[in-house]
Amino acid sequence: MKIIHAKDYADMSRKAANIISAQVILKPDCVLGLATGTTPIGAYHQLIDWYKKGDVDFSQVKTYNLDEYRGLTHEDPQSYHYFMNKEFFSGINIDLANTHVPDGANPDAEAACKAYDKMVADAGYPDLQLLGIGRNGHIGFNEPADAFSKGTHCVDLTESTIEANSRLFEKEEDVPRQAYTMGVQTIMNARMILMVANGKNKAQAVHDMCFGPVAPSCPASILQLHANCVVVADDEALSLCEGQY
């Protein structure tokens, strides 16, 4: 696991965008695994700026998002499909037919998850998987549990995750209680993993991810076992890791 220290959120976003753009430049038809939430927005906006300057071309890229709320259609303004179009895809030259998000509108959880697993496997898994980390150490929507998950599955969201995500909704009661998410094993199949983290509220999770025991009580800790994992985090997120890297 390689840790890259960023000064602040803007610096973290630029450094992460540099790594993503390098992947696209080196392999124009690469497969990107993408994440939602507020942490990666800065990196997405930086990539849009570089695309507009002609520095990076997304026309051949394929993307697979980590997760989607169960019960939301692609057109729902609170869906992750809508989020990705708004914050990233609408600003670059990606073919929307090459962008993929789990089908939250499918009420058959088993069928929806199995179909998404097959799509990701058929694509050969991501060349680069972008991740954020939850305050409880979750990646995707893989919450702390007794065992690491495998393929895409339906999860019940914890109260801390619901509370953290409520900032994107009008009120906390509007946050869906379930989601479809790639499993830990699927995430680990990516050839490179890029974790981004910022803020004091992520400091304990970042420490446990990088230096704690590898245990499903902190799902992100499994990344210690990945052959090519890069963590880009700011001063505050790394505040409990001083002297350890």
User: What are the residue numbers of the active site?
Assistant: 67, 136, 138, 143
Q: What is the rounded CA–CA span in Å between residue 223 and residue 64?
A: 19
Say how many residues make up the chain. 245
Compute the distance between CA of residue 23 and CA of residue 31 in angstroms, rounded to an integer.
Answer: 9
Bridge partners, 34 (sequence order): 65
Say how far apart CA 220 and CA 135 lie, in whole Å.
11
Cβ atoms of 136 and 163 within 8 Å: the answer is no
Strands (E), the chain: 2-6, 31-34, 62-65, 67-69, 99-100, 128-131, 153-156, 178-181, 193-197, 229-234
Evaluated on CA atoms 57, 59, 62, 64, the torsion sign reads positive
CA dist., res. 24 & res. 31, Å (int)? 9
What is the strand order of the sheet 67-69 is part of? 67-69, 178-181, 153-156
What's the burial of 198, exposed, middle or buried (CB within 10 Å: 0-12/13-18/19+)?
Answer: buried
Using DSSP, state whether 48 is helix, strand or coil: helix
